[in-house]
Amino acid sequence: MIVDRHSCGGRFAIGSGCYVKNSVNIDITDDVTIVNDVIISDEVLILTHDHDVEGDRLNIIHSPLIIKSNVFIGVRATILNSCNYIGCNSVIGACTVVTKDVPDNVIYAGNPGKIIRKLK
């Protein structure tokens, strides 16, 4: 389901069974796809863009994000635009800064985030 479209062209799609708190901030400069049964806790920040300065010019770098099924994202986690994929059945710990893709079936936590444990 398409919920919103940002002036930079991003689209927001969310599947069934998802729970997203009101205080979540999702940047849709590029596409954000949230598949089914995802829980996103309070004050999570999801970014799909960054800035690059070349001389006197400011360029916007954007990249899409896919959050697969059965993911839990803990309170105050930050997902940077360098992350394009969060795998199925993964858990993102509270206050984690996600700087790269997260594989399926892991607990991922810290600043910067890293795999803490693999899930069965």
Which residues are known catalytic residues?
Answer: 51
Strand 72-73's sheet: what is its strand order? 19-20, 39-40, 72-73, 91-92, 106-110, 113-118
Unique residue bearing structure tokens 């993102």: 92
